[in-house]
Structure 1
Amino acid sequence: MSSRPHEYSTITVERRNNGVAILTLNRPDALHALNSAMANELVRQFSDWVVDTNLRCIVITASGFRAFCVGADLKERNRLDENGVRRQHALFRLFLTIRQNLDVPVIAAVQGVALGGGTEIALASDIVLAADSAEFGLPEIGLGIMPGLGGTQFLPRITGRSRALEMMLTGERINAEEALECGIVSRIFPREELLSRALESAEQIAGMPPLAVRSIRRAVQLGGELDLNSGLAYELALHQRLMASEDGAEGVRAFVEKRPPTWRNR
């Protein structure tokens, strides 16, 4: 973990003592569009978090209420040549790769419009909470391109093939209620309450035994890509490892002794 906080121009990061971190996208004048500077800062911050052994949960949100993130900054992209566009997109993909390999739950608190890469950041999160005014969409087809930060892979796994293709081939936006119905969002709150509710969930997760949190997340993420029998075998292996852990024994002792457990992450 870095000994000093970084100074960022496009994001802000707040670290709480309970192991929860809040990352806020902060380009309100551009509706938090992803540009090269933001990509570099996201890569830098998530790279720090990879080696942060005290981190327990991350909440991603954006400043203001109008937008969560409207995807790539097309004004910047229009100034780049072909190689520049590819380098920029490689940065976006690097952020996604680091985030996917970070063994810490991520909650997206989507308080406004999420389009393109903004929706993909949400789809790549473990839990998505939305304000009642939130909107989601993958409108890249209207620009003659396609989703490039995992949208074609994440969305069908959540909504099913037909609904995902309908959204991506028409470029339609859906509101928070529709996103809830098709599984993109797990809960909806009034926008004034969204961040506090997201932090409540993050703090609850942060208080759980870290080994069990990581194991459950791995079983869902990786097991979901396996056939059922292989997924069950993977679950069993993780379960048996937890049963033999110090935290597994502590959980049973604390229950029998009717006291709060003390988790040691081992």
Structure 2
Amino acid sequence: MSRESHEYSTISVERRDDNIAILTLMRPEALHALNSVMATELVQQFSDWVVDTQLRCIVITATGTRAFCVGADLKERNRLDDDGIRRQHALFRLFLTIRQSLDVPVIAAVQGVALGGGAEIALASDIVLASEEAEFGLPEIGLGIMPGLGGTQFLPRIIGGGRALEMLLTGDRINAEEARECGIVSRIFPRADLLNNALERAERIASMPPLAVRSIRRAVQIGGELDLNSGLAYELALHQRLMASEDRAEGVRAFVEKRPPSWRGR
């Protein structure tokens, strides 16, 4: 692995084989709570990735074993005035906006607790893998507020409105098995195996034709917001574009010639 060019204080970023990035949250003393510095660094790194033509998959994880991320740093927030809180939250929302515009699959490897903004980072990911000890929750209501990093939008789209409202209105946590049953988590692994399994899946995705990966992701994300007929039409438009691509022709040739394909991304 090689380091990215930036040196951060709350996150670390490494590359594997140029096309996989591993972003690690690095505030274990605060259970990786999101403070203004971390938000700024996440905005900077994801902005860089928007124009990174080599990147094929991102894995987000955290150091230690207790937490993935427990949401906003309330100790920092308690020191801020109203304007400071608004500026801080604007950073959080900017991170979400940039992440949503990034056309690269993101895998969240969640060990320990993922609460509030930490749960929302996982919910905004394309694939969520969890350790056996993981827990998820959106406890903002207990502070007199509500999720502000996409939780009220991502959660009901994944688990349904009724189950989502139950979590949102009570602030209750669910464990890894419950999260898998309701569709938040794809797979559960022993803690020691979690990151390796996340990287194995990232490597499989990175080995696939990049145009097809992006098209499938768009079809699921954007098509899921449309009515069925419109979604089918959108899928067809993406499919036809792929049928005219060099990668489609290369895939057929490689299959006939019984060799690994060489994807060009065009």
Normalising by the smaller structure, the TM-score range is: over 0.9
Q: Give 2:183's aligned residue.
A: 183
State the alpha-carbon separation in 2 of the partners of residues 59 and 97 from structure 1.
18
Equivalent position SS for 1:14: strand
Aligned to 1:206: 206
1:67 aligns with 67
Partner of 2:51: 51
Corresponding position of 2:128: 128
Contact 1:132 1:188 in 2 (8 A): yes
- How far apart are residue 18 of structure 1 and its match? 4.5
Residue type matched to 2:223 in 1? Answer: G
Counterpart residue identity of residue 9, structure 1: S
8 Å CA contact 2:4–2:13 kept in 1: the answer is no
| CA displacement, residues 182-233 of structure 1 (integer Å, 9 cap, x when unaligned) | 0000000000000000000000000000000000000000000000000000
1:251-266 equivalences in 2 (<5 Å)? 251-266=251-266
Question: What SS does structure 2 have at the residue aligned with 1:146?
Answer: coil
**Number of residues of Structure 1 aligned to a counterpart in Structure 2:** 264
Q: Distance in 1 between matches of 2:15 and 2:93?
A: 25
Distance 1:250 1:161 in 2: 43
Aligned to 1:225: 225
- CA 4–191 in structure 1, closer or farther in 2 if over 3 Å, else same: closer
Structure 1 segments of 4+ aligned residues over 6 angstroms from their partners: none
CA offset at residue 67 of structure 1? 0.2
1:151 — aligned with what? 151
Question: Which residue in 1 is equivalent to 2:10?
Answer: 10
Look up the match of 1:88. 88
State how far apart, in whole Å, the 1-side matches of 2:18 and 2:119 are.
28
Q: Is the 8 Å Cα contact of residues 18 and 203 (structure 1) preserved in structure 2?
A: no
Q: In the alignment, which residue of structure 1 is the partner of 2:238?
A: 238
1:142 equivalent in structure 2: 142
Q: How far is 1:4 from its partner? A: 6.4
* 2:183 aligned counterpart, secondary structure: coil
Q: Shift in Å at residue 63 of structure 1? A: 0.3
CA offset at residue 257 of structure 1?
1.1
Flag structure 1 segments of 5+ consecutive residues without an equivalent.
none
Give ranges in structure 2 of 5+ residues lacking alignment: none
Cα RMSD (Å)? 0.9
Partner Cα distance (2:171, 2:87) in 1: 25
Q: Distance in 2 between matches of 1:11 and 1:36?
A: 12
Task: Please give the TM-score of this superposition, normalised by the length of structure 1.
Answer: 0.98
Contact 2:4 2:15 in 1 (8 A): no
The amino acid across from 1:28 in the alignment is: P
Residue equivalent to 1:97? 97
CA distance in 1 between partners of 2:138 and 2:85 (Å)? 19
Q: What TM-score do you get using the length of structure 2 for normalisation?
A: 0.98
1:108 aligns to what SS in structure 2? strand
By how many angstroms is 1:256 displaced?
A: 1.1
Contact kept, 8 Å, 1:219 with 1:235, in 2: the verdict is: yes
